[in-house]
Amino acid sequence: MNSTTNLLSAIYQNADMGCSSIEKILPKIADKELRREVSTQLNRYRQSYNRVCGELRAERTSPKELNPLTKAMTDMGIAFSCAKSTETSDLAKMLIQGTNMGIIRLNKSLNAATDAPSDVVSEAKDMLKAEQAYIDKLKPFL
């Protein structure tokens, strides 16, 4: 895969993991403000996911999917954490931790994409900014 496809796949994976994780956590959220914030983030992830799928189709390729074991481990971690506690602060902490993992993966891909086009690099950087803003919006719920 070339740098463009790799970076688009990283954005895709971030959005995909964000969607699937939030869809599992959202039903556990009782706090209306947190639920509203998380729902907004879910919509952003869905938009990113759909946009990147279109860009990958334009590249005549499909995204590199996340390792199924990674997804399964994430699902089990969410289920375990939610079984322990569904307190607002614990759910916010879990969401922040997941977002941080996504930021790390996306930064790593961005650093490796030395010859990716500027528009794709910009898209990845925009997602990183959105992720950081998301963390900042979750902090008051801790």
The answer to whether 96 and 34 have CB atoms below 8 angstroms apart is no
The answer to whether 49 and 19 have CB atoms below 8 angstroms apart is yes
d(CA 24, CA 2): 33
Report if residue 141 sits inside a domain.
Answer: no
The confidence score (pLDDT) of residue 18 equals 97
Q: In which band, very low, low, confident or very high, does the pLDDT at 2 lie, cut at 50, 70 and 90? A: confident
The answer to whether 7 and 109 have CB atoms below 8 angstroms apart is yes
Report if residue 142 sits inside a domain.
Answer: no
Report if residue 32 sits inside a domain.
Answer: yes
Report if residue 111 sits inside a domain.
Answer: yes
Instruction: Identify the H or E element spanning 115.
Output: none
- Tell me the per-residue pLDDT of 32-80, one tens digit each, with 9 for 90 and over: 999 999 999 999 999 999 999 999 998 889 888 888 999 899 999 999 9
Domain carrying residue 113: 3-136
The domain that holds 90 is classified in CATH as 1.20.1260.10
Q: What is the pTM of this model?
A: 0.92
- Tell me the per-residue pLDDT of 116-129, one tens digit each, with 9 for 90 and over: 999 999 999 999 99
How many domains is the chain partitioned into structurally? 1
| Residue 104 reports pLDDT greater than 90 | yes
Neighbours of 131 (CB within 10 A): 21
Instruction: Summarize the confidence of residues 19-39 as an average pLDDT.
Output: 97
The confidence score (pLDDT) of residue 1 equals 61
